[in-house]
Each structure stands twice: as C-alpha cells, then as structure tokens.
Structure 1
Amino acid sequence: MFELKKILGAMLMPLPLLGILCFIALVIALRTNKLSAYIGIFAISFLLLVSTPFIGQQIIDPSSQLKYTFHSNQQPALDKIVVLGCDVNPNPQLSANSQLGNCAKSRLVEGLRLANIYPNAQLIVSGGGYAKVTNSSLMQQTAISLGVDATRIKQNPAAMDTADEARLLAPTLVDFKVALVTSASHMARASDLFNAQGVDVIPAATDFYDFSAWPTHKQYIPNVEVLKAVTRYWREVLGSAWINVRRWIDPEAL
C-alpha cells in the first residue's frame, strides 16, 4: 500500500501527469492529422523518457564525474579558491543566501568548505546577475555572514558566462595553485576554458546528480529533478560544441 501511494503520488505530479495527457491527446489526434500527431508523440515520448531516473542516469553518467571530486589529502596547500557563478533570484526582502539559487548555494558551500581547510587561501566569488544584484555580491555577503573575513574575499561581478570568468580572472590566477569550484556537469567545459587562458586549475566539483539509489518504483516515473539534470547535461553539450566552432573559426578564441 505504501509503494502504491508513492507511485500514484508521483504520477500525479505535473510533469508525468500532463505528459501522459498530452500523449493521449496526440494519439486521438492521429485520426485527423497524422504527421503532426506523430511528431508530437515522438516529442512528448522523448521528453518523458529522458525525465525518468533510469534513462536520465544513462545520459548524465554520474560515475564519469567522480574524477572531478577534490581530495584535500592530495593537496597540501592552495593559493586561490575560485567559485563560479550560477543561478540567482534577486529579492531585496530576502537575505543574500535566500537570493542564491540551489546551484549557486551548492558551489558556495563547497568553496567555504575548502576555505575552512585552507585558511590562507583567497576566496574568489564570480558571476554577474541582474541589474545591480550580482551572483558574486550575494555569495560574498553570504560568506561574510557565515564567518569568512571580508578582506579574504574577492569579487568578479562583470563576468556573464564561463568564458568571461576565465578571461577576467586569468591574470590574477596564473602561477598560483587554484581550486576551481563549479557543478560536476560543468567542470569539463569550465576547466577547458581556464586552461586555455593559461590557468592550471584543480577541479573541486559539487552539485552532483545520481539517481541510482532511488527506489525501484521511482526509476520509471518522469521526475522534474531528472529533467533538470538532463537539461544541464545538454547545455554543456551545446556549450562545448559552441566553443569548438569558435575555435575552428578562430584558433585564438576562448
């Protein structure tokens, strides 16, 4: 009974429920417009499939991201800890940490963990934002509220994407021992961009996705968290493809 309740509850969530309703509607539409219906059925079927933990797990391949975990026992010292920006939700009525999205919080927590292990390392928080509210300023305010000395933190508020972050920060990072903190799915592209600027970074990934431990009754039900993970994976595929195109056009680009 417990598992049945969980299955029914999961199936009634917006993604699986509306997806199934769309699928049924498209099957009915086959009577009048077969081509459009077939395209719709393929699209909605693909969306639902990649949103299931079982399929999503095969796409994102969490085990391949484990090489980006940071091992402090292998790094006796660090000079710089760079935390890349992510999502922000500006709202002046909220505290700084509440304006950071989950991705940004996850990255900042890892940065603060490393800052605690390496008390002499400079903490660099990066990322632009909206209007006058930047990811870097919110991260700095949050870090200070959690006990980090303000003089130890440097902002990089002008960067609007990872290429900007690498380009703007490179002059202050070259020849230093640098830990790069970003999401596990983003680490390969981010490291590549920093390496291209002459900065040899040590990966310190966070924000991992792994659905292998989810119970069996959830493995085949579409879930928005899985869709989010697959979306991030796809964004990295597109981002890497764009970098390759830019470099093909101009070898000096990025």
Structure 2
Amino acid sequence: MDLFLLKKIISFMLMPLSIILLLLFIAMLFYRLKPKLSFSSLLLATTLLFFSSFAPLSDTLMTPLENNYPAFTKSEKPIDYIIILGGAHRSAKGLPATSQLKSSSLARLVEAVRIYHLHPEAQIITSGYASDDESSNAEKVKQAAIILGIPKHKILTENFPQDTEEEAQLIAPRVLNRNVVLVTSASHLPRAMAYFKKYGVNAIPAPASPSVKDNGQKSWSYYLPHVTKLQQTTGAWYEALGRIVQWLKS
C-alpha cells in the first residue's frame, strides 16, 4: 500500500468522530452478549462526542495552535513570493473556481489576495496535488485567484506535493534567499513554518482565518455542543498528530 495513503487511513481512524463511531458499533454489537461492555462503549462514545463538540474545550485545544503568529502586515522590504499551501476542492461544472474550493483553500486564497494587494510586486505560488480530482488543487486555486483579479502571469503552480513536507521540499529551491510569505490556515502554520525552515526557507508567516475569534463576549449558546466545534476539535487533533509525526522524524 502507498505510504501516503496508509498515513491518511491511520490519521482518519484516529479522528474523534471515527473513534465515536467505532465505540457505537461496539455498543450495538455487544448489546446482548456483553451488556456491560455495550453500556461502557455507549457512555464513552457519548462523553467523547459531547466534549469534542463543547466550545470551551475545543477552543482551549485550538487556541495554542492559532496564536503563534500575528496577522500579516505590510513588510518593510519587497516581497518576492507569496506561497499558498494546498488545501482541498471539488471540481464541479457550472461553478466558478472560487465555489469549487473548500473552506480552508478559499480562506488561504483570500488571505494571499489581501497580501498581494499590499505587495503587488510579489509572485504567487499555489500548491497541492489532484488526489482523485481531475484538477490539482494548485491549478484550481490559480483559477480562483485569476477570478479575484490576480494576473495570470503572476501565478506559479506546484501541482504534485501531497503533503506539507513535500511542499517545502519542492518549493524551497525556488525561493531560497528570497523574501517569502507563507500562507496557510492559522492552526497549520506552526507545522508548515517548521518544515520550510528545515529546508532553508525563513518565511514570513501569514495565518489565514483562525477559527477561534474571542471577543470576550459569550452567550448561553456558546456552552451548547455544536457540530462546528466538533470539526474544530478534529482539526486541532489532526494538527497535534501531525506535529508528533514531525517531531519523531526530526
């Protein structure tokens, strides 16, 4: 089996929702044979679902990942490259490229466009492979960037990196000793910065769309479980696993 696919399968199985579904399956399977095991699995699944969807806990897990770097402000020096790390999309005929991007990719693109308007001298590098789609993420983000007003000749694509480390490996030779901005999701940025530094690139961090936006005011609904917080917890856990793997490799 391909190592990259195996890594994806393992990480998927370790996600909160996958564990919850496994516990529920065990609860149903042993409902009559082992009632105590069934009840314990059901209780554990319910507890994990509640706390994974509970905003105070989810925000506590995510905030340390997202608060490592401030929002990008105009650089005193000219910017040579703005790198947009790969996200996800789904090609669909009849929809503009901006609507084919999933939320993480769209947020990264919007942040890169904002930075480009501050530094129109820069070139943009989009990155990301095709997976099972007809188009690479790098190409789809390029199409969306053109729709948003970025000149086509200002965009370069890296169509083959499958993960963050491969992106750093492939892009680093092009941008060494240049003034570079690295754009990715706020929670993903610490891991991405470490990989690019490993390959000799001291980039300026540009966090895109942090999910925790605390203005100090919280209504009663904040303390109710919510599906978006389950997604946020999953993202925090995914990044934690990624950083463990990164640490083991180093």
Category of TM-score, reference length = shorter chain? 0.7 to 0.9
How many residues get paired?
A: 223
Task: Give, in whole Å, the separation in 2 of the partners of 1:230 and 1:236.
Answer: 10
Given the alignment of the two structures, is residue 198 of structure 1 paired with residue 170 of structure 2, yes or no? Answer: no
Structure showing greater radius of gyration is: 1
Counterpart mapping for 1:44-63 below 5 A:
44-61=46-63
With over 3 angstroms needed to count, the CA separation of the structure-2 counterparts of 1:217 and 1:89, relative to structure 1, is same
Q: Post-superposition, which runs of at least 4 consecutive aligned residues in structure 1 deviate over 3 A?
A: 29-32, 73-76, 211-215
* Contact 1:57-1:211 at 8 Å conserved across structures: no
Q: Deviations over 1:99-139 (max 9, x none)?
A: 10011000000001111110101111111123431111111
2:189 aligns with one of 168, 187, 190: 187
Structure 2: segments with no counterpart, 5+ residues: 1-16
The C-alpha deviation readout for 1:1-51, integer Å capped at 9, x for no partner, is xxxxxxxxxxxxxx9xxx9xx8xx99xx69961123112211221221121
- C-alpha RMSD over aligned residues: 2.4
Residue of structure 2 equivalent to 1:4? none
- In 1, Cα distance between equivalents of 2:147 and 2:34: 61
Asked whether the 8 Å contact 2:91–2:134 carries over to 1, the reply is no
Matches within 5 A, 1:44-83: 44-61=46-63, 65-83=66-84
CA distance in 2, matches of 1:123, 1:73: 16
CA distance in 2, matches of 1:136, 1:232: 22
TM-score by length of 2: 0.81
Give the residue type in structure 2 aligned to 1:112: V
Could you tell me which runs of 5 or more consecutive residues in structure 1 were left unpaired when the two chains were aligned.
Answer: 1-14, 248-254
Cα distance per residue 1:208-231 (max 9 Å; x no partner)? 011645743222221111111111
Aligned counterparts of 1:61 and 1:117: Cα–Cα separation in 2: 27
Q: Deviations over 1:161-189 (max 9, x none)?
A: 11111011010011001100000110010
Aligned pair 1:218/2:211, yes or no?
no
Q: Which of 130, 133, 136 is the equivalent residue of 1:134?
A: 136
Identify the residue that residue 146 of structure 1 maps to in structure 2: 148
Give the corresponding residue for 1:115: 116
User: Would the aligned equivalents of 1:53 and 1:220 in 2 still touch at CA under 8 Å?
Assistant: yes
- Partner residue in 2 for 1:171: 173
